[in-house]
Amino acid sequence: MSARRSAAESRGITSEYERGRPLFKVGRTLLNGLVLLFLVLVCLGPILWLAKSAITPTQDTLRHPLELWPNGVDWANLRTAWVDIDLKLYFWNTVVIAFGSWAVQMLVAVTGGYALSILRPRYGRVLYGLVLATMFVPAVVLLVPLYLTVLDMPFTHWNLVNTYWGAFLPAGASAFNIALVKRFFDNLPREVIQAARVDGCGDFRLFWYVVLPMSRPVLGVVSVFAVLAAWKDFIWPLVVLPDPAKQPLSVRLPRLAGVTELDVMMAALLISCALPIAFFLVFQRLFLRGGLDGAVKG
């Protein structure tokens, strides 16, 4: 399992001895420095440029895209974007969609994983097989039939188009989440569960008081990826939420791009990626380490 070695423990490709040789040392420092420079320029650069342009008047950005504020800073862009092109509305829509998708995904993954891993009904293997089988069908291919289903739900004939339920519920059908949670539950110490059973714990109490408290790591991983995925999603909300007043940022921004002045648009783009970046910085450990087992072995 994930024997995560600390930096001191892992020796890396180069040896202590090699790193001690002066010429080698210079070369290695240079290489590492170059890579760092590359990462800063390529990965961070565009975002810094965006931050700069968000507070630069349009004409400066157009005429001198690489200069720093030749004619001063224009902070008003951020306000104009937030208030006048109504970014706050789309921002909140995105928050609602991310929150709802997260809640649905958690509910489905945790209860499903629990039933399949701990309760183990006889038909469990077949069911798990059916869930995993959906991984073979690329989500985008389902776009049209899924849309027509949401348009006129079986039995109830509800039309979920233009409702947030249409955005939340399909997000729950993630085989990846179920597999991740089930595997985690499979590896929980059986003795603890047995002991709880002996103490007379029913299925619900076992779930609530024993299994859930032990699952914080996997819940964290599922959560951060669920929220980020919902924030990034484009094609499904594009199709299921045609009403502009309900659309998230991802869907709305391309529409606004045609009718909004450049500086305000840049401010809007900056605002739209501010939250995911902050979220990433706060939970970076989960993104950079926690997701790995899942990503590698999912």
Partner 1 sequence: MRNHRRRGLTALATIASLASVSVLAAACGSDGDDSENDGKVSITVEGWRPGDEQGTIDAVNKLAEEFMKANPDIVVEPVEWEWSAETFSTQLAGDTLPTTFRVPFTDTKGLAERQQIADVTEYVNELPYADEFNPSVLAAATGTDGKIYGLPTDVYGVGLHYNRHLFEEAGLDPDSPPTTWDEVREDADAIAEATGQAGYVQMSANNTGGWMLTTLTYTLGGRLQSEDGTTATVDNPATAEGLQMLHDMRWEDDSMGKNTNFEWGTINEAFAAGKVGMYMSGSDVYNALVTTNQVDPDSYGLAVLPLSDSPDAGVLGGGSVAAVSAKASDEEQAAAVLWNDFYREKKNYDPAAAEADAKVLAESDQPIGTPTLPIFDEPTWQGVQDAIAPYVNVPQDQMSSFREGIFDQNLIPEPSSHTQELYAILDAVVQKVLTDENADIAALLADAQGQAQALLDS
Partner 2 sequence: MSSLLTRARGSASTLVFLLPMLLVFGLFSWWPIVRSVIMSVQQTNLVTDPEFVGLDNFRAVLEDPLLSTAVQNTLWFALLALVFGYPVPLILAVIMSDVRRARGLYSLLAYLPVVIPPAVAVLLWRFFYDAEPTGVFNSILGKVGLGPVPWLEDPAWAMPSLVIEATWAAAGGTVIIYLAALVSVPPEQYDAAEVDGAGVLGKVWHVTLPHLRGIMLITLILQIIGTAQVFLEPYLFTDGGPNNSTLTVLLLVYRYAFQNTTGGDYGKATALSLMLALTLALLSLVYFRLTRRWSE
* Contact residues: partner 1, CB under 8 A: 80, 83-86, 88-89, 92-93, 95-96, 99-100, 103, 147-148, 151, 153, 156, 158-165, 239-240, 242-246, 255-256, 258-261
Q: Is 133 exposed, middle or buried (0-12, 13-18, 19+ CB in 10 A)?
A: exposed
Residue 119 as a binder of partner 2 (CB under 8 A): the answer is yes
1 versus 213: smaller Cβ distance to partner 2: 1
193 versus 239: smaller Cβ distance to partner 1: 239
Which has the closest alpha carbon to 180: 78, 240, 112? Answer: 112
Output the smallest distance, CB 262 to partner 2, in A. Answer: 8
> Which option in partner 2, partner 1, none does residue 7 bind, with CB closer than 5 to 8 A by kind?
partner 2
Angle between helices 87-114 and 175-186 (to 10 degrees): 40
Output the smallest distance, CB 79 to partner 2, in A. Answer: 19
| Contact letters for partner 2, residues 120-159 (x by CB under 8 A) | -x-----x--xx--xxxxx-xxxxxxxxxxxx-xx-----
Measured CA distances, 51 to 61, 82, 95, 255 (Å): 12, 15, 22, 21
CA-based max dimension of the chain: 75
Q: Which stretch binds partner 2 (CB under 8 A): 37-45, 71-79, 84-92, 185-193?
A: 37-45
80 versus 117: smaller Cβ distance to partner 1: 80
10 versus 156: smaller Cβ distance to partner 1: 156
Measured CA distances, 255 to 91, 98, 249 (Å): 15, 21, 10
73 versus 159: smaller Cβ distance to partner 2: 159
Structure tokens at 1: 């399992």
Q: What are phi and psi of 253, to 5 degrees?
A: -55, -45
- Count of residues touching partner 2 (by CB under 8 A): 104
What is the rounded distance in angstroms from the CA atom of residue 108 to the CA atom of residue 114?
Answer: 10
> Which option in partner 1, partner 2, none does residue 232 bind, with CB closer than 5 to 8 A by kind?
partner 2
Structure tokens at 157: 């004939």
Output the smallest distance, CB 216 to partner 2, in A. Answer: 19
What is the rounded distance in angstroms from the CA atom of residue 39 to the CA atom of residue 41?
Answer: 6
**Phi-psi bin for 189: left (phi > 0), alpha (psi -120 to 50), beta?**
beta
Residue 71 as a binder of partner 2 (CB under 8 A): the answer is no
73 versus 292: smaller Cβ distance to partner 2: 292
